[in-house]
Structure 1
């Protein structure tokens, strides 16, 4: 082999070595990427599985059947009671009497204090609603399915270990025996917990529900959408189509980009300082929450809307102007309709981000304990993320599952909003 052949062979060997090294580097990079994705998916599955396992119990509840004598001697209602008299009557006294009749062996005061919590204090409202709808049933005995007490539900769901020493558990041996008598007589019903969605917040875990928080979230999101969408779209159109390229425009664009990265709690502090302390808007109201979330959402909507406007080909503008359309007509009749799908997608994603925010709403007082359902954007309210935060701080075992259940409901709303964004993008997307 002559010198030229040796040089050529060395070059081929170097090329093959370099190629093999590149191939192995690419394979290692791909393996790292796939491993990272798989690790992220594993963490996601573990997180969702943990939340689901803890929160599944929030969607079921237990009722106990009890024969209640609707004794007017206890209620002390007149012949034609008024609304306030109906509401003020002692319905819990009827339930306590029914429990004493079912368990006549319970005579001591301490045993009665253990017996009464078998039934939730909300059971009185169930009896009241029945009597108000059927006043002719007064002084008769009716069979009711009444919501079980918190400790009764926790025991039937397996959260209380009966093998523990009686002093170490809240549900005592007598209560277990009384509950077993309900079970032996088929007086226990396990059903879907509709009250989780129809009831408002409560200090009693078996009564607590999400209706108030869901209503507050809807009002807050309505205010956010009504304010952020038109302002964000208008700002994007001006910056992209009409604004002159100068230092002022560059300054505005830089600040919009920076605002998108500002921590959300800063917007909460700004809202508390301006909307509550200066403008004196009602504290803990959806209108204030919507204004704060509007400030937080605007940068996202503006950036997404500008990207959608940029995606419209210049030929569309040139063709419209070529047939005599004004600048405003070009924007409103041609550019805006074509960019609207991208704008809607960005808006929905921004709204989904706002729906999951907690910190800015804590700063404006939406962390208050509110039982009433808000009727307007100026009424006191809370929202789903704040409700989750409040429940997570409560010690009762049933609030643990209520917290996880509320997280599942919030994730469902977020998933629906993101799916809607994908559908809109796919449906109205244009290929240029």
Structure 2
């Protein structure tokens, strides 16, 4: 009997050990799969980021060509005697100068052997179309430059810019290359004379959209996104927080509030393009607000982010300990005093976190803005929320649809800027929440 009991006990212990070993193996496999999934996701994310950076970092660089321009009054078509004070020409006179002709004469002077009109037109493409406007602004802002010949750096055309950056392969045969052999010879001639340089692309950060990739910028889209988010925040945050406070603290629990809560949760899952259609029908066609204006984009995105802010604000209010309310009631505080003096300040970190995350979501939205017309080609920088503008994700969408190599790098560069803003906003949400939690503790 004792031997049978010992054998039974040993067999049971062996089964338990096997069961524990299987459980440990399952747990180990689960951990391995979890770590592997994280590594795979991180590898895809890293590959995506590397691809964007490799394609987009060149957007922050531009190519300039050094030209010797004739700025004598005769070459500029100005009267011999200045019409302003101190021997300077007035702005009105300088605005009438054909600066394109002056720059073309300067580039032709670098290659006097080029006499065919066909080759001259190709040579003119070495200079960006926006170079004449930069040149004009420089002369108007400093009229003392008029007189004699001066060396200036002008923005190069897109072909020269891409060839300088190495985006046009130099190993391809001429028939497969956009930059032909005679253009390569002209480029090498300028390069040997140190008349080509690579500098920071200031136009990318200081201008709006352009049909020329070398002079296109994101400032207009960035300002449009700022005004759009400003309108979105000013509307969605106070309304969302007030709705969350009422539903959580004051609203009676009945079928009506249950219906409202269900619809708020459903609205959080509605595709964003539906809000764009709503904005098109209501704000543009019915109310008559200006098309392509950030104020309309802000109204649409405010409707889209309201459910997110309400849900996160209600969760923050629920997380406040009941003992806080009980202590306030015990001190004789009213319902309003309990909510506004104790509950809301303690829930504010969660509310602000939800609001910032909602703003980050709104910053990356494209579909609703396309529906209300913010996809228009806008060159000017908007001065207010009622001016025509576009947004950063819409600008990326427009550039991505353009096959030119210069717009490909501009697209990736704008994506890098957008990702930087999103990371900054999410980081600000985390830091703000931790700081407010420390203060409330």
- Give the shorter-chain TM-score range: over 0.9
Q: Deviations over 1:34-78 (max 9, x none)?
A: 110110010011000000100010011111111111244454346
SS in 1 for 2:152: strand
Q: Does 1:109 align with 2:117?
A: yes
SS in 2 for 1:395: coil
SS in 1 for 2:214: coil
Query: Which residue does the alignment assign to 2:55?
Result: 54
Flag structure 1 segments of 5+ consecutive residues without an equivalent. none
**107-116 or 321-330, larger mean C-alpha shift:** 321-330
Change (3 A) 1:320 1:88: farther
Q: Matches of 2:423 and 2:236 in 1, distance apart? A: 21
Q: Is the 8 A contact 1:74 1:90 kept in 2?
A: no
Flag structure 2 segments of 5+ consecutive residues without an equivalent. 84-88
Query: Which residue does the alignment assign to 2:352?
Result: 344
Q: Matches of 2:106 and 2:272 in 1, distance apart? A: 53
Deviation of residue 180 (structure 1)?
A: 1.1
Q: Is the 8 A contact 2:400 2:407 kept in 1?
A: yes
Query: Which residue does the alignment assign to 2:243?
Result: 235
Q: Deviations over 1:277-325 (max 9, x none)?
A: 1111111110010011001111111111111111111111122222222
1:78-117 aligned at under 5 Å gives the runs 79-80=82-83, 86-117=94-125
Q: Is the 8 A contact 2:91 2:140 kept in 1?
A: no
SS in 1 for 2:59: helix
Q: Matches of 1:425 and 1:133 in 2, distance apart? A: 48
Deviation of residue 187 (structure 1)?
A: 1.3
Question: What is the number of equivalent residue pairs in this alignment?
Answer: 432
SS in 2 for 1:63: strand
In the superposition, the TM-score normalised over structure 2's length comes to 0.95
Q: Matches of 1:87 and 1:251 in 2, distance apart? A: 65
SS in 1 for 2:215: coil
Deviation of residue 330 (structure 1)?
A: 1.3
Q: Matches of 1:350 and 1:385 in 2, distance apart? A: 16
Query: Which residue does the alignment assign to 2:86?
Result: none
Deviation of residue 216 (structure 1)?
A: 0.2
Q: Does 1:419 align with 2:427?
A: yes
In the superposition, the TM-score normalised over structure 1's length comes to 0.96
Deviation of residue 167 (structure 1)?
A: 2.9
RMSD, aligned CA: 1.6
Deviation of residue 209 (structure 1)?
A: 0.3
